[in-house]
Amino acid sequence: MKKTILLFSFILCTTKTLVAQQDQFLENSIERLENSRKYLLLVAEMMPEEKYGYKATAESLSFSENLMHIGFALDWHSQSLLGGREARVYQTDTIFKPAHKTKAEMMARIDQTFTEAIALLKDFDPKALDDHLDYFGLDRSKRQICMLLADHITHHRGQMLVAMRLNGLTPPRYVLYQ
Q: Are 64 and 96 in contact (CB under 8 A)?
A: no
Q: Could you tell me if residue 172 is inside a domain?
A: no
Considering the chain, what percentage of its residues have pLDDT values greater than 90? 83
Q: Could you tell me if residue 178 is inside a domain?
A: no
Q: Could you tell me if residue 174 is inside a domain?
A: no
Q: Could you tell me if residue 177 is inside a domain?
A: no
Q: Could you tell me if residue 110 is inside a domain?
A: yes
Q: Could you tell me if residue 35 is inside a domain?
A: yes
Tally of domains within the chain: 1
Query: Which of 136-145 are b and which e, b meaning 16 or more Cβ less than 10 Å from the residue's Cβ?
Result: eeeebebbbb
Task: Tell me which residue range forms the domain holding 16.
Answer: 2-166
pLDDT in tens, 35-75: 999 999 999 999 999 999 999 999 999 999 999 999 999 99
Query: What is the pTM assigned to this prediction?
Result: 0.86
CATH number at residue 10: 1.20.120.450
The burial of 175, by beta-carbon neighbours within 10 Å (0-12 exposed, 13-18 middle, 19 or more buried), is given as exposed
Q: Could you tell me if residue 48 is inside a domain?
A: yes
Band of residue 175 on the pLDDT scale cut at 50, 70, 90: confident
